[in-house]
A = this chain, B = another copy of it.
């Protein structure tokens, strides 16, 4: 956990242009909490006002619509996702080869899991939106997916050249890793019973390493 954490991104993003009042901050926090708890549609603007301890009109002072309010919450997150995805893959990192698979997997996922944990609620709201807003899903994906495939792709190719990683198509490799990652995050988000965070995070790296280790079972067989 040596690398910088993401925090206070509201402050960070918003205070560049204008100051944010305590009440406006309370509104953002209440909205985020409620959207994550009950879902966007199930949250009324009067719910938000009540939770934030302000009048309903105050909610509309800065944000013209409820959707604009949601977007104000999600904007900083989506803006931060790309740098996070690209971290660890700056040019010098790329030039340095990873000595082992375990080092690679650990390096890659420590940041991303930390980021996800620090922004659980926002991610939950993003997922809700992505599930039924087809356009936005494609928009967000088109921003992120190519960058991710490209960045990870070059590292994977390096590892392939060194025979440190299984020789599967890169997209399949990514899919299996992301499945494990999202599965872990889903358990955290839904607070499924019996989720022991520390143990599972260690296990996550073990499983991913195992998937990627070259071996005899690597031929993709159908039935």
The distance in angstroms between the C-alpha atoms of A172 and B192, with both chains bound, is 13
**Are B210 and A215 within 8 A (Cβ)?**
yes
Among B131, B193, B211, which residue has its beta carbon within 8 angstroms of that of A211? B211
The distance in angstroms between the C-alpha atoms of A215 and B38, with both chains bound, is 44
Max chain B Cβ within 10 angstroms of own Cβ: one of A106, A186, A190, A206: A206
A220: chain B residues within 8 A (beta carbon): 199, 202-203, 206
The distance in angstroms between the C-alpha atoms of A190 and B138, with both chains bound, is 10
Q: Name A's interface SS.
A: helix
Total count of chain A residues near the partner, CB < 8 A: 54
Known interface pairs A171-B194, A180-B176, A207-B211; A131-B128 also in contact (CB < 8 Å):
yes
**Are B209 and A217 within 8 A (Cβ)?**
yes
A147: chain B residues within 8 A (beta carbon): none
> Can you report 5 A-B residue pairs in the complex whose CB atoms are below 8 A from each other?
A37-B132, A131-B131, A176-B180, A205-B221, A206-B218
Having A176-B203, A202-B223, one finds 8 other A-B pairs with CB under 8 Å, namely: A127-B131, A128-B132, A168-B203, A205-B221, A205-B222, A206-B219, A210-B217, A213-B215
